[in-house]
Amino acid sequence: MKITKRHIENFFEAKKLAIAGVSRDPQKFGYLIFNELTNKGYEVLPINPNAKEINGVACFKSVSGLPADVSSLLIVTHKHQTDSVLREAIGKGIKNIWVQQMSETEETIKIAEEYQIEIIYKKCIYMFAEPVVGFHKFHRTILKIFGQIPR
């Protein structure tokens, strides 16, 4: 499964997106990316079965509880949860799924292939959420030099 620039553009086209694995801990990745995407103007729907809200935004307990108009989902869960969240998203009909780098398992790709859906995986969302700033901008430039940015 080759990840292209178009996959990434499709993910970000929706200005409303959900994140499975948003943390209440401001030091955790799930919290940081929730905050980052919110600050970049996205309507972010956090999914955390153990929280009622994060930063004043109501949390959903699961992917299946999301509104029908959500077409993009970022999965930043622990590896042991990723595949069940992915299956739930496929069942819900979510088309644009990004499994954050380090959240995927060997089974993740097999599930996507089994259901014939294309997912973004082994990529850090910080490298593509425009505008890219700071360390991530530098890192993206290096990857671009070496031809490792999806085209």
pTM, full prediction: 0.92
Give the pLDDT confidence score for residue 151 in this predicted structure.
82
Which CATH number describes the domain made up of 5-145?
3.40.50.720
Would you say residue 28 has pLDDT above 80? yes
Would you say residue 38 has pLDDT above 80? yes
Quick: pLDDT tens for 51-75: 999 999 999 999 999 999 999 999 9
Residue range 15-37: mean pLDDT, rounded? 96
Give the pLDDT confidence score for residue 120 in this predicted structure.
97
Give the pLDDT confidence score for residue 15 in this predicted structure.
86
User: What are the structural domain ranges in the chain?
Assistant: 5-145
CA distance 45 to 43: 7
pLDDT over 90, % of the chain: 79
